[in-house]
Amino acid sequence: MTPTTPTPTAEENWLRLDRQICFSLQAASRAFNGVYRVVLKDLGLTYPQYLVMLVLWEQGALPVKKLGEHLRLDSGTLSPLLKRLEAAGLVRRERSARDERSVEVRPTEEGAALRERALQVPRRIAAATGFDLDEIRDLRERLDQLTGALDSAALDETPGCS
Amino acid sequence: MTPTTPTPTAEENWLRLDRQICFSLQAASRAFNGVYRVVLKDLGLTYPQYLVMLVLWEQGALPVKKLGEHLRLDSGTLSPLLKRLEAAGLVRRERSARDERSVEVRPTEEGAALRERALQVPRRIAAATGFDLDEIRDLRERLDQLTGALDSAALDETPGCS
DNA sequence: GGCCATTTAGTTGTACGCAATTGAATTGTG
DNA sequence: CACAATTCAATTGCGTACAACTAAATGGCC
């Protein structure tokens, strides 16, 4: 059939782009990002900023460290992001009195008020997926399971764990 | 139970971080990224660079435009990435003779040789997921379906489509 | 109290991802 | 041939991600 392509080994088949689940994953993640970009434009938020506000709406106020644990982000990402949210008047940052190392982040009045307008966001996003609630839940559970497996595998693989 | 929290409306429940499939998706994507970072360090590639090389190993050579279509990336992302791959000696970029606007990207000898060492990557990644082949395929199909739905929804939602 | 390991944010540097713009090359149309 | 519209890569600007580093603050230990 294709003399230039000798029968590919099983290993070579695995290198095909359309076999890479990580690629499908990233494509889906970016597709979500695109929809969020449109939906969140009204609120003046990027998608990561929206995630930060979600946590703050749930928790009221919490230190940068805790915020990073919830979102799996480190201070290198959060520090500039939070500065932009502060510049936009949506959050306030203040050193904790108990522990001067820690910085408490809390929504301002304006930031809290934004929640009202955000209530419609999940419905619009869910509609865009074309999935019903059970499918979404099922997919989410698989993904979380996948993340858990990858995280523990990363610990094993990490070279510098002497 | 919790008098400070009046019964949340259905809509408010949807704002909970742990309900956001996009978050699970992004977390999984970044977890993959972390595993790839470890596995690809030997090859001197980042994960997006690895994806580019996957396409080039499959296709041999192709213009930036086609590369971007395969990977869903635009020139703003690819141009600097390809420059780094060229600086690393893995690809060559040359203006197409037929169409001077187009730039053909092709693996160098060294880039093609790298494929040998990459053959082991998918197996190591697959092992890290803890999923078997059927589960991976099933998840990949769902994700691709999701991406398709989100892409067409984005077209509908885009404000500037007069 | 003095000392040191740890914790916490912030900063710097590198690398995407994407919108918007630029500029060169090509194509379609008269 | 002339000219407008289109195509293509590159560039610019902004916003994440994340590793590595810095510096301030804390807590345990003697």
CB-nearest partner of B72 from A27, A145, A154: A27
Give me the torsion for CA of A42, A119, A82, A78, rounded to 10°: -110
Contact B12 A119 (CB under 8 A): yes
Which residue places its CA closest to the C1' of nucleotide D7?
Answer: B101
Which residue places its CA closest to the C1' of nucleotide D18?
Answer: A76
Buried b (16+ CB within 10 A) or exposed e, A28-65: bbbbbbbbbebbbeebebbbbbbbbbbbbbeeeebbbe
List per-residue pLDDT tens for chain A, 162 residues long.
Answer: 445 556 667 777 788 888 899 999 999 999 999 999 999 999 999 999 999 999 999 999 999 999 999 999 999 999 999 999 999 999 999 999 899 999 999 999 999 999 999 999 999 999 999 999 899 999 999 999 999 999 888 777 654 433
Can you give the pLDDT at residue A152?
87
Contact B25 A23 (CB under 8 A): no
CATH (one of 1.10.10.10, 3.40.50.620, 1.10.3720.10, 1.10.357.10) for B21-119: 1.10.10.10
Mean pLDDT by 10 residues, chain B (162 residues): 59 80 93 93 95 96 96 96 97 93 96 96 92 92 94 70 38
Q: Supply the CATH classification number for the domain A44-112.
A: 1.10.10.10
Contact residues for strand D with beta carbon within 7 Å? A 46-49, 72-77, 80-81, 84, 98-101; B 26, 30, 33-34, 37, 63-65, 68, 74-76, 78-80, 82-83, 93, 99, 101-103
DSSP assignment string, chain A: --TTS----HHHHTT-GGG-HHHHHHHHHHHHHHHHHHHHGGGT--HHHHHHHHHHHHHS-EEHHHHHHHHT--HHHHHHHHHHHHHTTSEEEEE-SS-TT-EEEEE-HHHHHHHHHHTTHHHHHHHHHT--HHHHHHHHHHHHHHHHHHHHHHHHH-TT--
Can you give the pLDDT at residue B157?
64
Sketch the domain layout of chain A as residue ranges: 44-112
Can you give the pLDDT at residue A51?
97
- Please write the tens of the pLDDT for every residue from B32-75: 999 999 999 999 999 999 999 999 999 999 999 999 999 999 99
Residues in chain A within 8 Å Cβ distance of B158: 38
